[in-house]
Structure 1
């Protein structure tokens, strides 16, 4: 569901980012689902992924 929502919010999502999303835990996916509501560009997604990995 998240992979379908992200393009509507931030535009096309690169395959590399899609792969990173697919590797997230259920908790991380739930957090991403909430966070993506505030994304306005692809950099927001990249920043979230980089921060969630730490």
Structure 2
């Protein structure tokens, strides 16, 4: 049972990260800096920079 609970928690955390990453372009459009976004979302600045790059 513990293993299932841990698995659900991991999926939940991954989902939260995905939502944060999807928000980054919108927050940049509002004029927030990479540093502000990283601090506000609790992410590393490098992660924010990577997510901000256009996808090809």
Larger radius of gyration: 2
User: What is the TM-score normalised by the length of structure 1?
Assistant: 0.29
User: What is the TM-score normalised by the length of structure 2?
Assistant: 0.29
Highest RCO, 1 vs 2 (Cα 8 Å, sep ≥ 6): 1
